[in-house]
Amino acid sequence: MLFFAVTLGFFAENIRENISEQNKKKELLDVVANDFNRDLDQLKFHENWAKEKLKLCNLLIRYLDGDYSDANRKQFYHALFVIKGWWYFNSEEKSRIEAESKGYFYAKENSDLASTILRFNFFKNDYVESEKHEAKLIEKFNNQIPYISDFDLFLAHNHHPEPSINAIHRVPKITSSEIAKTKYIISEIIMYNDVYLSDIDSMKVYAEKAIKIIKSQKD
């Protein structure tokens, strides 16, 4: 009888520990889903920023290709202000790293979730690498600004938040060599922002899929 009681106690304790661990797992996966939602909010901001930068890159190229002396200075200097800036994407991945370290993604029922997060991370890492390359291009673009702008007007725009100034035409004479150099740099910035938008689209797909998988496990 004593042996039987001890054995039952042992099994009961294992059951309690298993229930407790499953509850902890569900709680952490809920956090993972919430963090993916935060990533989606952040990705929306980066998507809008990349689209705005692409629009202004193309606008600046058109100005440089045409009679830039007649350019709308408000648009011209606004383009400089936006193109020279960038925002890093900081993924909310702490909960995912914790869940992986606990082995939650290795369970058979979570294999699809693990695969989805792996794909998300692939495009996230590509995005981060592209950020490093764009940072070098932005430095080159910043070095070009003295050759394609008027300092007083640039200074007037170069504040955060960007102030509103009037649209009087005033863009200095730019040499053909500096125009060509600037356009090449802008074309590279355009390419990396195209990459951003592609990576963002993929990250959104896999983030939404991961949230859906986690939600289905709760239902």
**Structure confidence at residue 165 (pLDDT):** 76
- Residues across the chain: 219
For residue 10, pLDDT beyond 70: no
Q: What angle do CA 183, 188, 192 make, to 5 degrees?
A: 145
pTM for the whole structure: 0.85
Lowest mean pLDDT among 13-22, 53-62, 152-161: 13-22
- 96-to-141, 162, 173 alpha-carbon distances in Å: 37, 37, 53
Q: Which residue has the tokens 């190229």?
A: 61
Distance CA 189, CA 117 (A): 28
Q: What percent of the chain has pLDDT over 70?
A: 83
**Structure confidence at residue 169 (pLDDT):** 66
Distance CA 170, CA 5 (A): 91
Residues 191 and 54: beta-carbon distance below 8 Å:
no
For residue 7, pLDDT beyond 90: no
For residue 39, pLDDT beyond 50: yes
**Structure confidence at residue 177 (pLDDT):** 95
Nearest to 55 by CA among 189, 205, 200, 217: 189
**Structure confidence at residue 12 (pLDDT):** 45
Tokens of residue 183, six digits = 């356009």
Instruction: Report the number of secondary-structure helices (H) and strands (E) in the chain.
Output: 6, 0
**Structure confidence at residue 153 (pLDDT):** 85
What is the average pLDDT across 29-35? Answer: 94
Residue partners of 201: CB distance under 8 A and separation at least 6: none
Lowest mean pLDDT among 54-63, 142-151, 159-168: 159-168
Lowest mean pLDDT among 127-136, 163-172, 183-192, 203-212: 163-172
What is the average pLDDT across 120-140? Answer: 96
What is the average pLDDT across 126-151? Answer: 95
Residues 214 and 113: beta-carbon distance below 8 Å:
yes
Give the Cβ contact number of residue 210 at 10 Å: 25
For residue 108, pLDDT beyond 70: no
